[in-house]
Amino acid sequence: KAGVTQTPRYLIKTRGQQVTLSCSPISGHRSVSWYQQTPGQGLQFLFEYFSETQRNKGNFPGRFSGRQFSNSRSEMNVSTLELGDSALYLCASSQKTDMNTEAFFGQGTRLTVV
């Protein structure tokens, strides 16, 4: 069974640009969550989608947005990039949204904003 696939693996963007990251969950998983990982802030929750609906959103500005398609694939978009958006962006998928269900992570997309 293929794992969570994130594309691209690496990105370099200029301040003010926008970027779209993609995540393909494990087959059969309908929940997709996004996290931002930085050395200073650690792992922070961005948002979660289940059956094409955003269930919850973390404390990030509106420049960060996402969506989920009918095949459960998800994209996140960051507009008007800032230097501080440089981070590893991780996507995780779960079969369900229960408390006892583990999440499986992709390898991440390393975004560098210059």
Partner 1 sequence: AQSVAQPEDQVNVAEGNPLTVKCTYSVSGNPYLFWYVQYPNRGLQFLLKYITGDNLVKGSYGFEAEFNKSQTSFHLKKPSALVSDSALYFCAVRDMRKANNLFFGTGTRLTVIP
**Total residues at interface with partner 1 (CB under 8 A):** 25
The identity of residue 108, as a single letter, is G
Tell me: does residue 4 bind partner 1 (CB under 8 A): yes
Instruction: Measure Cα distances from 86 to 39, 103, 109 in Å.
Output: 10, 24, 10
**What is the distance between the alpha carbons of residues 63 and 105, in angstroms, rounded to a whole number?**
23
Closest CA to 82 of 108, 109, 57, 114: 114
**What is the distance between the alpha carbons of residues 21 and 114, in angstroms, rounded to a whole number?**
17
Tell me: does residue 85 bind partner 1 (CB under 8 A): no
Tell me: does residue 86 bind partner 1 (CB under 8 A): no
Q: Which C-beta is closer to partner 1: that of 18 or that of 38?
A: 38
Interface mask (CB under 8 A) for partner 1, residues 23-52, using x and -?
Answer: ----------x-x------xx-x--x----
Binding site residues, partner 1, CB under 8 A? 4, 6, 33, 35, 42-43, 45, 48, 55-56, 58, 90, 92, 97-100, 102-108, 110
